[in-house]
Amino acid sequence: MDKSPEVPQDILWRIFSILEIPDLVRAGSVCSSWRAAYTRLCSTGNCKLQQTPCLLYTSESTDAREADPPIRSRYIIGSSYGWIITADERSELHLVNPITSEQIALPSVTTIEQVKPVFDVKGAVWCYEYWWYTGKHVISNTPSVFPLSELRDFLFYKAFLSSDPSMGGYFVVLIHNPHSQLSFARAGDDKWTWLPPRSYYEDCLFKEGLLYASTTIGEIHTFNLGAPAVTRKVVLNKTKDIYCERIYIVQGSGGEILQIWRSDAEPRGEDEDETDSDIELELDDDKFVNKTTAITVYENVLFLGHNQSLCLHAEEYPQQKGNHVYFTDDDFLYAAGFKNNRRDIGVFDLENNSSEEITTPQIWSNWPTPVWLILNPRRMSLATHS
């Protein structure tokens, strides 16, 4: 068989420059010639900058030991700027770049206000005390004691980055229990800083140097984390009294701050003919499913879940459906308490108030919960120089 002529490097380079990162990485592994074009493109920083969000997930068919780092053994509690925030088997937090496998260790979980280490006779941490108090209330005077791997089941809700860690000078904000409080750390910090006395936060967003944090009753607070003394300012008073929806905040196409409400149906089994008594009996069963039934905001394209909430122009992202919401599971009690259950992942049509699955059958494993991720071309460029 005659060998097909090699595609010139300049043509490969032009083609690769318009590819989404997952396709670009796959193309770079085809042969040495394509790898050379891929490396050149990354090293010059000319990758397509406007990347479409993709769904990061693990597959049941993939051996957990094949992943580096081992994402399948981690909890994923956030996604920002091409990085994910994970909790490992000791409940310690790490920033992870899933493309380059780079990791950045965050301050120890034992520096979070409500967590205290318990040492064995050799001076090693062997479990954690978890103290039940907020900035305003003491829930219990007696701590709970958790093995190293189990604290993450109860402590972490969601995490956010202020900017790309590869640029330095970033903040990490953590929503954690009890009662969804806030703590933060600067790049290079060796401990978490607690932000009392408020609690019941749902989502966060960084904009123009300020942290915006939304609560379960629709309040929006701002914090200047770079100030010598961090204070809270209320920019929106409560908009609701009932905690039946999850609330997100996102920067709209015009720079405005939007508040999004997401409602779920009553938990039910996958069999549409099940009765209420059947559901009660099977609450701990793998058939327990949460379903998104309403999202009350009208915008271009939204991405919601354990990621930085995103609002994109449909015209700039033709692969996505305009006036639709792409969502993944991020309900704390459901995701942490029912790890083997089917995830609530789909696309919600804002025009007819209906949702559909992204793909059938489901191709991802139920744990860790899949998350939306915008891959970072800059990080790929820097990796070629390391």
- CB neighbour list of residue 61: distance below 8 Å, 6 or more residues apart: none
With contact defined as beta carbons under 8 Å apart, do 96 and 102 qualify? yes
Q: What is the mean pLDDT of residues 162-177?
A: 93
Cis ω before 70 (30° cut-off from 0): no
The model's pTM:
0.79
Q: What is the mean pLDDT of residues 258-282?
A: 51
Out of 112-121, 265-274, 370-379, least confident range: 265-274
Query: Side by side, which strands form the sheet with 181-186?
Result: 156-161, 171-176, 181-186, 193-194
Q: Where are the domains of the chain?
A: 1-48, 49-60+67-264+292-383
Are residues 87 and 74 in contact, defined by beta-carbon separation less than 8 angstroms?
Answer: yes
Mean pLDDT of 145-167: 94
Task: List beta partners, residue 310.
Answer: 303
Domain 1-48 -> CATH class: mainly alpha
β-bridge mates for residue 176, sequence order:
156, 181
pLDDT at residue 279 in the model = 28
pLDDT surpassing 80 at residue 103:
yes
Q: What integer pLDDT is reported at residue 106 of this predicted model?
A: 98
Distance in angstroms (rounded) separating the CA atoms of residues 260 and 363: 28
CA distance 65 to 200: 37
Residues with Cβ within 8 Å of 85's Cβ and at least 6 positions away in sequence, in order, are 76, 77, 78, 79, 93, 94, 95, 96, 106, 159, 161, 172
pLDDT of residue 269: 42
Mean pLDDT of the chain: 81
DSSP β-ladder status, 324-327 and 301-304: parallel
pLDDT, mean of residues 115-119: 97
Return the higher-pLDDT residue of 328 and 333: 328
> Which pLDDT does position 165 carry in this prediction?
92
